[in-house]
């Protein structure tokens, strides 16, 4: 079936829904395509809060400086300025929509402390901030009557004369392939956490948006910048929010020491995430860990703070490790959490491809640079989601409707048919994905070096070959998840390749990208972004753009 | 550790019936199509594994055709509510060891929801109900300027965290006794969200909401079976929220309905006689002068007579009933 809209948004997390809502407000006929129901989106897993300089003693400049310093000076400062200036209004708007933010005694919004921030400027709802924002935004989408194609799985972007004019999507419940034509497409499809094992990310975070845009010609930027969160639960790898440390929790090694005093004597546990994760890894490597973990100690906070402000992580530690954090410290370790890089956009979400916009984790504006500060990701989604929605709607007003696309629809049908009819060779999706993700964590994780990265690239080439032979183990028409997993693995392989290639090129250590063979930051050579542009089956094209600096010169980064 | 999982399979294509080993048939009312059956799998997992671990292991390494919704694996996204041993639970929060009965764990799509495939049910009834309660803030005027928040107490916000914690998994609705017999009942999740907005000090339409929620299918159609409180994986306790809405509705004067009359008749009978007068409860609930509804209750009355369940025709007070009255007076409020 073919359907026409002004703006089609891929993804229904905070960035996607915020973009769709804004496009609808600007008068566009906006529709959302999402592979899961909007409420299932991974934005709901954001726990700790959202940053803005609202308080009288705070300023957007201070927030922006902390963000730039946190990014290890790789963030584009003009973009950071936009985000930090607009943050207060966007958060207040969500308050007006009904988010039940924590209040101070005066009835105004109250804050908690977060990592890498010079002031407590994180606004929150318990430890379910992402969920509270997501359900409120979903309810606004319902109120506005925005069309949602839920459990529709995007397989390709529809390109016409070099511009993006819609997408092809598989309706899971019927097994039918549809062409959704649009004058503008906004990608807000979230992260790629499943490329790593373990990861804090949901099983649905498979890099679909990056790969679709990349294949359509949009360059990916800063892909080597993969954030490891300092506190992920031992075993399962689930996220233990930074808000725990924001509320005052300690990190302890096997000797019971608050080891952060050696790495960040001023900020201690509230140093930036890259710094804290590396500190933990050092402690563990030097034999002061416990079975590959360190301890997150909340006991001194008392049951009242834990149960009122951190109930969800309390429940998770109980459910998955049988540890009551009121009584005992929780074993945690660094775990893959967030992709700072993504589809290169300007501050309005526009990519290099006309008609194609991106926002949220999948985009790279870049406001996070080499390392994202905690509670800046929710902010990124709502500020740049809104901006891209507005600009895409305006663009759609002056753009004629697309009439083509049937050819793509037929070729996609053919591609899926071929995938489904491949004979079984003994290779499975799940097996290959696990091999890929374990390899990424080992060779392209917290620490990297040239030998390891070259080995990773070599292995990835092998995985790509094997991927071409994988059979889909389900031939059913309805809700064929084996088919979508197979497509997802293809997306992950593309993402993995761009990460490895960028990591090989950046011969310095900056933010989350730590090269043991190049341990120092090299501002003379590397105050620039790495971009990769897809060239079909050939090697991607490599290019650079300088970091935009407005008012903050790079300094030595200590916490 | 070895675990045995019995999975309720269904494919609208009918492919399972021919291609796989048939298992035990589904119980009524499902047992109509040859495509529906149970299939048994054995998985090797750590002792602390949850049901979802088993389903993922099956899907990844044994049978790629098994359809199951899941995303976060940590009870946040709400995707994986399903029937486990005959009750709705999140598969990611249910330990296999605790759910192994007679050497196996039975997992299936809940019979209360339409089925799409295997463990994937059609959530449309759930989302329709959610939408029906108008789950968005109707802003109290004047809305503060764009750089200012509403000034409200933290206590009034924390009061709503319980409802905001809802992850829309539908475990409550899947096992709701009232929904099972009355598809029009708004159900526990939607009504908990109704309270989330009606109880918000920034909402302007509390009265309109209460009027709406007091209609048939709303707050008075809950039968207090507590299934929703038991099954909710996030402690939302929907029944508690429904009771809060009832109190708000009655306080706001929305009493001209069977639910309020039923509650009034119940309390009055206990206050006056120390026990429930079942003979007058039904007529009082529908309204003595509501002849049409009175006649509609007659078949139930005949059924009661036939089953020998007719209450005594002469209702006696219990000894010391005055002390019951004293309790009502001490408690105060509507029934004193």
| Residue that wins the pLDDT comparison between B298 and B191 | B191
Taking CB atoms and an 8 Å limit, are B67 and A44 in contact across chains?
A: no
For chain A, what's the residue count? 559
Catalytic, out of A42, A181, A245, A278: A245
Average pLDDT over residues A304-310: 94
From the list A40, A95, A429, which residue is nearest B149 (CB)?
A95
Taking CB atoms and an 8 Å limit, are B116 and A173 in contact across chains?
A: yes
From the list B61, B78, B139, which residue is nearest A39 (CB)?
B78
Q: Hey, is the C-beta of B15 within 8 angstroms of any chain A C-beta?
A: yes
Among B58, B60, B62, the strongest candidate for a mutation testing the A interface, having the largest count of A CBs within 10 A, is B60
User: CA-nearest residue of chain A to B60?
Assistant: A430
- String of DSSP letters for A384-452: HHHHHHHHHHHHHHTSPPP---HHHHHHHHHHHHHHHHPPP-S--HHHHHHHHHHHHHHHSSSEE-HHH
Q: What is the DSSP letter of B321?
A: H
Does the pLDDT of residue A221 top 80, yes or no? yes
Contact predicate A268/A297, CB 8 Å: no
Taking CB atoms and an 8 Å limit, are A101 and B157 in contact across chains?
A: yes
User: Which H helix or E strand runs over B81?
Assistant: strand B81-84
Question: What distance in Å separates the CA atoms of residue A358 and residue A172, rounded to the nearest whole number?
Answer: 24
Average pLDDT over residues B141-151: 96
Residue A134 Cα distances to A158, A365, A428, angstroms = 29, 22, 35
From the list B72, B77, B136, which residue is nearest A143 (CB)?
B136
pLDDT digits (tens, 9 = 90+) for A405-441: 999 999 999 999 999 988 888 788 999 999 999 999 9
Does the pLDDT of residue B36 top 80, yes or no? no
Return the percentage of chain B with pLDDT > 70, whole number. Answer: 93
* A-chain residues near B68 (CB < 8 A): 481
Among B13, B131, B150, B169, the strongest candidate for a mutation testing the A interface, having the largest count of A CBs within 10 A, is B150
Question: What distance in Å separates the CA atoms of residue A356 and residue A388, rounded to the nearest whole number?
Answer: 10
Taking CB atoms and an 8 Å limit, are A473 and B64 in contact across chains?
A: yes
Please measure the distance between the N-terminal and C-terminal CA atoms of chain A and give it in whole angstroms: 56
Q: Residue A517: helix, strand or coil by DSSP?
A: coil
Please tell me the number of Cα atoms within 13 Å of A549 on its side-chain side.
Answer: 14
* A-chain residues near B93 (CB < 8 A): 319
Average pLDDT over residues A476-501: 96
Q: Hey, is the C-beta of B70 within 8 angstroms of any chain A C-beta?
A: yes
Q: What is the radius of gyration, based on Cα positions, of chain B?
A: 24
Taking CB atoms and an 8 Å limit, are B74 and A479 in contact across chains?
A: no
Does the pLDDT of residue B51 top 80, yes or no? yes
In the block, tokens 């990916």 appear at: A220
pLDDT digits (tens, 9 = 90+) for A16-40: 999 999 999 999 999 999 999 999 9
Q: Where does the pLDDT of residue A475 fall: very low under 50, low under 70, confident under 90, or very high at 90 and above?
A: confident
Q: Where does the pLDDT of residue B29 fall: very low under 50, low under 70, confident under 90, or very high at 90 and above?
A: very low
User: SS in 3 state form for A129-177?
Assistant: HHHHHHHHHHHHHHHHCCEEEECEEEEEEEEECCEEEEEEEEECCCCEE
Q: Where does the pLDDT of residue A247 fall: very low under 50, low under 70, confident under 90, or very high at 90 and above?
A: very high
* B-chain residues near A135 (CB < 8 A): 164, 166, 168
pLDDT digits (tens, 9 = 90+) for A509-552: 999 999 999 999 999 999 999 999 999 989 999 999 999 999 99
Residue-averaged pLDDT of chain B: 90
Question: What distance in Å separates the CA atoms of residue B87 and residue B233, rounded to the nearest whole number?
Answer: 12
Residue-averaged pLDDT of chain A: 96
Among A36, A37, A386, the strongest candidate for a mutation testing the B interface, having the largest count of B CBs within 10 A, is A37
The tokens describing A435, both together, are 């091999």
ipTM of the complex: 0.95
Contact predicate B199/B256, CB 8 Å: no
Taking CB atoms and an 8 Å limit, are B147 and A102 in contact across chains?
A: no
Q: Give yes or no: A245 in active site.
A: yes
Query: Rounded to the nearest 5 degrees, what angle is found at the Cα of A532, between the Cα atoms of A526 and A537?
Result: 145
* A-chain residues near B69 (CB < 8 A): 36, 40
From the list A96, A431, A473, which residue is nearest B139 (CB)?
A96
Return the percentage of chain B with pLDDT > 90, whole number. Answer: 75
From the list B48, B154, B161, which residue is nearest A103 (CB)?
B154
Does the pLDDT of residue B302 top 80, yes or no? yes
Taking CB atoms and an 8 Å limit, are B73 and A202 in contact across chains?
A: yes
Average pLDDT over residues A442-459: 98
Closest CA to A382 of A122, A128, A92, A166: A92
Note the CATH architecture for domain B124-251: Orthogonal Bundle (1.10)
Parse chain B into domains and list their residue ranges: 2-121, 124-251, 269-331
* B-chain residues near A478 (CB < 8 A): 11-13, 67, 116-117
pLDDT digits (tens, 9 = 90+) for B149-193: 999 999 999 999 999 999 999 999 999 999 999 999 999 999 999
pLDDT digits (tens, 9 = 90+) for B125-135: 999 999 999 99
B73: left (phi over 0), alpha (psi -120 to 50) or beta: left
Q: Where does the pLDDT of residue A386 fall: very low under 50, low under 70, confident under 90, or very high at 90 and above?
A: very high
- pLDDT value at residue B26: 36
The whole-angstrom distance between A94's CA and the closest CA on chain B is 9
- pLDDT value at residue A477: 86
- pLDDT value at residue B15: 58
- pLDDT value at residue B30: 39
Task: State the helix-helix crossing angle for A450-467 and A481-505, rounded to 10 degrees.
Answer: 150
Taking CB atoms and an 8 Å limit, are B71 and A42 in contact across chains?
A: yes
* B-chain residues near A149 (CB < 8 A): none
Taking CB atoms and an 8 Å limit, are B12 and A478 in contact across chains?
A: yes
| Residue that wins the pLDDT comparison between A19 and B14 | A19
Residue ranges of B 73-102 with Cβ closer than 8 A to chain A = 73-79, 93
Residue ranges of B 131-190 with Cβ closer than 8 A to chain A = 131, 135-137, 139, 143-144, 146-154, 157-158, 160-161, 164-168
Contact predicate A8/A188, CB 8 Å: no
Q: How many beta-carbon contacts under 8 Å exist across A and B?
A: 173
Question: What distance in Å separates the CA atoms of residue B34 and residue A170, rounded to the nearest whole number?
Answer: 27
Does the pLDDT of residue B227 top 90, yes or no? yes
CATH 3.10.20.30, domain B2-121, yes or no = yes
The whole-angstrom distance between B318's CA and the closest CA on chain A is 46
Catalytic, out of A112, A158, A229, A333: A229
Largest CA distance in chain A: 68
Average pLDDT over residues B67-88: 96
Taking CB atoms and an 8 Å limit, are A37 and B139 in contact across chains?
A: no
| Residue that wins the pLDDT comparison between B306 and B28 | B306
Question: What distance in Å separates the CA atoms of residue A242 and residue A47, rounded to the nearest whole number?
Answer: 8
* A-chain residues near B61 (CB < 8 A): 428, 430-431
Residue ranges of B 190-209 with Cβ closer than 8 A to chain A = 197, 200, 202-203
From the list B76, B136, B202, which residue is nearest A44 (CB)?
B76
- pLDDT value at residue B336: 67
Average pLDDT over residues B199-223: 97
- pLDDT value at residue A423: 87
Does the pLDDT of residue B331 top 90, yes or no? no
- pLDDT value at residue B332: 81
Q: What is the DSSP letter of B184?
A: T
- pLDDT value at residue B291: 85
Average pLDDT over residues A84-107: 97
Closest CA to B191 of B147, B158, B224: B224
- pLDDT value at residue A96: 98
Q: Hey, is the C-beta of B69 within 8 angstroms of any chain A C-beta?
A: yes
Among A17, A21, A36, A40, the strongest candidate for a mutation testing the B interface, having the largest count of B CBs within 10 A, is A40
- pLDDT value at residue B14: 66
- pLDDT value at residue A227: 98
Q: Hey, is the C-beta of B57 within 8 angstroms of any chain A C-beta?
A: no
- pLDDT value at residue B326: 92
The whole-angstrom distance between A403's CA and the closest CA on chain B is 33
């Amino acid at each position: 079936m073919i359907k026409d809209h002004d703006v089609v948004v891929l993804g229904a997390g905070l960035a996607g829904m915020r973009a769709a809502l804004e496009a609808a407000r600007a008068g566009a006929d906006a529709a959302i395509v999402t592979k899961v129901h909007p409420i299932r989106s991974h934005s709901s897993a954001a726990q700790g809060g959202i940053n803005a300089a609202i308080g009288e003693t705070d300023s957007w400049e201070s927030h922006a400086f902390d963000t730039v310093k946190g990014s290890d000076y790789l963030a584009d400062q003009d973009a950071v300025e936009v985000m930090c200036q607009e943050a207060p209004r966007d958060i207040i708007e969500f308050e007006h929509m009904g988010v039940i933010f924590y209040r101070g005694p005066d009835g105004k919004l109250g804050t908690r402390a977060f990592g890498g921030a010079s002031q407590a400027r994180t606004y929150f709802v318990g430890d379910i901030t992402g969920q509270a924002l997501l359900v409120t935004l979903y309810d606004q989408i319902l109120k506005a009557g925005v069309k949602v194609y839920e459990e529709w799985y995007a397989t390709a972007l529809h390109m016409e004369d070099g511009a993006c004019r819609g997408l092809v999507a598989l309706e899971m419940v019927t097994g039918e392939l549809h062409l959704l034509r649009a004058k503008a497409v906004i990608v807000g499809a979230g992260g790629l956490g499943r490329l790593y094992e373990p990861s804090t990310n949901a099983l649905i975070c498979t890099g679909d948006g990056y790969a679709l845009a990349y294949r359509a010609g949009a360059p990916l930027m800063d892909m080597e910048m993969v954030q490891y969160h300092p506190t992920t639960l031992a075993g399962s790898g689930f996220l233990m929010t930074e808000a725990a440390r924001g509320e005052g929790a300690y990190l302890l090694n096997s000797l019971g020491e608050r080891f952060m005093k050696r790495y960040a004597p001023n900020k201690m546990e509230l140093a930036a995430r890259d710094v804290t994760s590396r500190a933990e890894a050092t402690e563990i490597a030097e034999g002061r860990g416990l079975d590959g973990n360190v301890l997150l100690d909340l006991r001194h906070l008392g049951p009242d703070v834990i149960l009122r402000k951190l109930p969800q992580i309390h429940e998770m530690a109980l459910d998955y490790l049988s540890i009551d954090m009121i009584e005992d410290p929780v074993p945690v370790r660094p775990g893959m959490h967030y992709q700072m890089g993504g589809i290169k956009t300007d501050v309005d979400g526009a990519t290099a491809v006309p008609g194609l916009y991106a926002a949220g984790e999948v985009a790279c504006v870049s406001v996070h640079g080499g390392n994202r500060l905690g509670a800046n990701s929710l902010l990124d989604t709502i500020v740049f989601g809104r901006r891209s929605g507005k600009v895409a709607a305006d663009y759609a007003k002056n753009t004629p409707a697309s009439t083509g696309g049937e050819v793509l629809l037929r070729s996609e049908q053919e591609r899926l048919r071929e995938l489904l009819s491949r004979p079984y060779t003994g290779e499975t999706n799940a097996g290959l994905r696990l091999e890929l993700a374990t390899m990424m964590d080992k060779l392209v994780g917290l620490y990297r070096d040239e030998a390891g990265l070259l080995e990773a690239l070599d292995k990835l080439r092998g995985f790509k070959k094997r991927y071409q032979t994988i059979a889909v183990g389900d031939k059913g028409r309805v809700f064929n998840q084996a088919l979508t997993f197979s497509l997802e693995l293809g997306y992950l392989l593309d993402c993995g390749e761009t990460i490895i290639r960028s990591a090989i090129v950046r011969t310095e250590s900056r933010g989350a990208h730590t090269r043991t063979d190049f341990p120092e930051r090299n501002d003379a050579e590397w105050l620039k972004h790495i971009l990769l542009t897809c060239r079909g089956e050939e090697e991607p094209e490599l290019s650079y753009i300088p970091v935009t600096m407005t008012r903050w010169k790079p300094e030595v980064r200590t916490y | 550790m070895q675990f045995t999982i019995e999975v309720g399979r269904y494919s609208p294509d009918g492919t399972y019936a021919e291609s796989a080993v048939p298992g035990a048939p589904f119980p009524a009312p499902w047992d109509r199509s040859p495509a529906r059956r149970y299939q048994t799998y054995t998985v090797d997992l750590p002792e602390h594994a949850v049901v979802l671990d088993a389903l993922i292991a099956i899907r990844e390494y044994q049978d790629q055709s098994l359809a199951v919704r899941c995303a976060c694996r940590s009870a946040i996204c709400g995707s994986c509510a399903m029937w486990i041993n005959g009750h709705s639970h999140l598969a990611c929060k249910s330990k296999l060891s605790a759910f192994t009965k007679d050497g196996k764990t039975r997992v299936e799509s809940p019979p209360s929801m339409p089925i799409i495939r295997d463990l994937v049910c059609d959530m449309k009834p759930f989302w329709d109900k959610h939408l029906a309660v108008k789950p968005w803030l109707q802003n109290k005027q004047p809305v503060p300027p764009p750089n200012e928040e509403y000034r409200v107490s933290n206590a009034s916000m924390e009061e709503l965290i319980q409802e905001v914690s809802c992850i829309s998994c539908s475990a409550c609705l899947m096992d709701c006794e009232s929904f099972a017999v009355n598809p029009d009942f708004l159900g526990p999740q939607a009504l908990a969200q109704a309270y989330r907005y009606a109880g918000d000090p920034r909402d302007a339409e509390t009265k309109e909401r209460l009027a709406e929620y007091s209609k048939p299918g709303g707050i008075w159609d809950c039968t207090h079976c507590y299934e929703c409180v038991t099954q909710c994986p996030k402690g939302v306790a929907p029944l508690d929220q429904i009771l809060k809405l009832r109190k708000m509705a009655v306080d706001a004067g929305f009493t001209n309905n069977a639910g309020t009359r039923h509650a009034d008749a119940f309390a009055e009978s206990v206050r006056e006689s120390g026990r429930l007068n079942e003979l007058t409860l039904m007529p009082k609930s529908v309204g003595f002068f509501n002849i049409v509804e009175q006649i509609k209750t007659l078949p139930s009355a005949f059924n009661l007579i036939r089953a020998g369940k007719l209450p005594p025709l002469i209702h006696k007070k219990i000894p010391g009933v005055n002390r019951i009255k004293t309790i009502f007076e001490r408690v105060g409020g509507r029934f004193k």
